[in-house]
Structure formats: structure tokens, C-alpha cells
A and B are shown apart, each in its own frame.
Chain A
Amino acid sequence: DAGVIQSPRHEVTEMGQEVTLRCKPISGHDYLFWYRQTMMRGLELLIYFNNNVPIDDSGMPEDRFSAKMPNASFSTLKIQPSEPRDSAVYFCASSPSPEAYGYTFGSGTRLTVV
């Protein structure tokens, strides 16, 4: 298995532009998590899905952020419009269960908004 695949690895965009981050989870993993990592706040859970259904989106910072999981093999995290404070590394993780020891993280997308 190729693991959790995220794209792009790096994204540089101008303030106000729409940004879409993509994630392909491990096949058979029913849980998918989107995390954001910053120096000041560390790893923060933005949203997670179970069987493609959003379960907890309380970590989504504001309405500019949205996430979808149209099928079991694909999820997107969209920021529209993007702002400089959104600059961070965004990780996607998948798991066969909600238990954290089962998480497999992708390599992350480093987003820079200028």
C-alpha cells in the first residue's frame, strides 16, 4: 500500500485565492482526519470523517474552510479565500478505527499564503 497520499506537497498562493488540498486515504480505512500544524498551536484537528460522513468539524477555523469526502478514496480541504494566517502544514490521516494508535499520516501539504 502506498500509504496516505496528499497533494500537492507544497502550495504557494496569493491572499484571496482559493486553495484545494487533496488526500487519498489507505484503502479500507473508514476514518479520515484533516489536521493543521503550526509552530504556535501544534497539531490541530480540523475535521474528521467516518465512512465519508463528516463527524466532527468543530476544529474548522471559519467558514472559509470546507472539507468534502465524495467517496472512500478521496477527500479535499478547501480554503476560500485564503489568508496569510492560513499558512501551515496540513496533514491528512486515515485509520481503520477512531483510535489514535491506528492513524497513518500523509506527508503533508505545506501551504504558504503571501
Chain B
Amino acid sequence: DQQVKQNSPSLSVQEGRISILNCDYTNSMFDYFLWYKKYPAEGPTFLISISSIKDKNEDGRFTVFLNKSAKHLSLHIVPSQPGDSAVYFCAASAIYPWAGNNRKLIWGLGTSLAVNP
């Protein structure tokens, strides 16, 4: 039962255009969301995050939007560059009182983005 869903396994866009990666979640306890980027044969690297008290966070070409009522977040990359080609993971964080109040991070399965020159 995936609490964090990335319904598009892959996405292909043209260089210079906008890339939009989507993520849906089911657990209303999530209060912090993150996007990670992963190149082949490397570990994921942190890209951008957003707290549940915000609906937008921007860092250069990357913007994350959060719609809490829809339990949906998206990552926008503008403009897309060939170097952005990677797998993008959405992750959501919550404190689980029944698990010793430990904060847990739940990951989506990832979306593979290909930016074509």
C-alpha cells in the first residue's frame, strides 16, 4: 500500500521546456515533503523540500507546489536541461506516535525524467 505515489514512471520533455513531476499522498499526517534526484549508479541527492504550512517553495529552476486539500505535490523544472535527466523521488515525512514518536520518511517509486536536446 503506497502512501506516496508517483503515478508516472517516466516523462520525456524537450530541452528548454517545463518538466512537471507529480506526486500524490494518502496520509494526512505528512507534514514535510521532499524531492530527491538520482543519477544511475549513484545515491539519491536532496533537491528541494516544502513544509506543509507552505504551498510553494522555489530554488532556482526548481519549484515545488503543495496542494494539501488534494494531497498532491508537484515539482516544476523550468527550463529543463539535459543534465536534469535522472530519476526523481518524492518523499513525505511524518511523526508516528505509535512508533516511538519517530519521524519516518516514506518514498515514492520515482519518475524517470528524460530531457531531450
Contact bitstring B1-43, A, C-beta under 8 A = 1, else 0: 0100000000000000000000000000000101000000111
Q: Is the CB of A105 within 8 A of B34?
A: no
Count of B interface residues, CB-CB < 8 Å: 23
Chain A residues positioned under 8 Å from B46 (CB to CB) = 100-103
Contact-size category for A? 20 to 34
Sample (26) of A-B pairs whose CB atoms are under 8 Å apart? A4-B43, A39-B109, A42-B107, A42-B108, A42-B110, A43-B89, A43-B107, A45-B105, A56-B99, A58-B99, A93-B43, A98-B103, A100-B46, A100-B49, A100-B91, A100-B105, A101-B46, A101-B49, A103-B46, A105-B43, A105-B44, A105-B45, A106-B43, A107-B42, A107-B43, A108-B43
Residues of B within 8 A of A (CB): 2, 32, 34, 41-46, 49, 89, 91, 93, 99-100, 102-105, 107-110
Give which listed residue, A42, A45, A93, A104, contacts B104 with CB less than 8 A: A45
Residues in A25-60 with C-beta less than 8 Å from chain B: 39, 41-45, 55-56, 58
